[in-house]
Amino acid sequence: MPLGLIIALIVGLGGGGVSVAAQGSLPGEALYSVKVNVNEAVENLLTVTDQGQAELNIKFTDRRLSEAEKLVVNGRLSSTTQATINELLDQHINEAQKRITKINLGNSIAAANLNAEMGATIEAHHKILGDIDASNSGEDDHGALAAFTLRLDNASGVASSTDEEIGAKIAAMNGVGMQEASANKRVAAQHKIDEVTNYLSRQGVDVTASSTSAVAVQVKAAQDAIVLGDTKATAGLYSEAFIAYQNALRLAQEAKHLGDAEGDLKIKIEDDEDESGQEDSLSIGFMGTTTGSVQRSHGNDEGEDDDNDNSNASTTVNGSLRVKGSDDQSNEDKGNSGSNNGQGEERGGGIQVDAEGQINIGL
């Protein structure tokens, strides 16, 4: 829509008052067309860079999913409003991912930042929609939520492929420039963790270590990722440190999305448990590739005493991350000595981390 026409519409609607009022509207309400076709159209026209367009469409993706969640929780989602959201959601996701792919051709660090932001949005809303579906949705809402979730699954698959491309380029950048980039990323990640923790605490969200909420789990995972990054930086592995710090930033942002949903929707999002009942207290994927639960296996599968330490533990996050212990490693090596996949790693997201914290990127 031409800028002149948009300005004429704003004037015709009585100036900025209507535009401001439209910001809180939902699909199906009178002012929603002003929100999307005027307010957001102006933002789009004024955003001229690829990075700006990626950021804007990620923000719009978050906004559409939040609107869908509010409609479902309040029993107001209809086939018409669902179709409206789905159409816009497809546009936002496709545009964001197209811009990220383009940016990665010349600036992998900027692309990593954007893909992590996209991943945090996808993963958080995937969990929120799942919780809503499990708690209070009817049969009609169940179908609608499944359609939204399918879109997020597809978007996650694209993000995972982009992760591999970005990760491969960053892994080859371990020079002086990468040392500075990883140091800057650590500062940004720690700042985001502190910012999110303080914000959620003010909102009354429990983010203490003893909490089993999904929000607290993500904050703890972000803090763990900082520790991993520090270990890699100390060893001079600055590309791997950058990846860990980037992941910390993503996990903290995901925690904020979850906390916002708890406040806006008046729901409590608990962390999932695996089949053994163990809480999913770790979620360290790479830049938005984790869309499933965390699964844990241990080296004492043969019935050893559970009091043994967890040095043989392995963790898989949706097939994208595996942390392996020394016994687990040696046992698999014995059975796979002739295989190019003898490490026994899970390759779904392309990133593996061994027991020493070594990050391996499988393409």
- Identify which of 73, 65, 76, 9 has the alpha carbon closest to the alpha carbon of residue 37: 9
Tokens at 354, concatenated: 């061994």
Q: Counting beta carbons within 10 angstroms of the beta carbon of residue 202, is it exposed (0 to 12), middle (13 to 18) or buried (19 or more)? A: exposed
pLDDT under 50: residue ranges of the chain: 11, 13-14, 274-363
Contacts of 305 (CB under 8 A, 6+ apart): none
Structural contact between residues 58 and 117, judged by C-beta atoms closer than 8 angstroms: yes
Q: Name the residue among 129, 29, 21, 41 with its Cα closest to residue 91.
A: 41
Rounded to 10 degrees, what is the CA torsion of 13, 28, 62, 255?
A: 120
- Which pLDDT does position 297 carry in this prediction? 33
- The β-bridge relationship of strands 351-353 and 314-317 is unpaired
- Residue 306's Cβ-side half-sphere holds a number of Cα atoms within 13 Å equal to 1
Structure confidence at residue 128 (pLDDT): 95
Q: Which residues pair with 294 in a beta bridge?
A: 317
Determine phi and psi for 213, rounding to 5 degrees: -70, 155
pLDDT score, position 277:
36
Predicted local distance difference test score (pLDDT) of residue 16 = 61
Kindly give the interhelix angle for 214-234 and 238-265, rounded to the nearest 10 degrees: 170
pLDDT at position 324 is 34
Cβ-Cβ contacts under 8 Å for 313 (sequence gap 6 or more)? 296, 297, 298, 299, 323, 325, 328
Its pTM stands at 0.73
State residue 10's pLDDT score: 52
Q: Which pLDDT belongs to residue 99?
A: 98
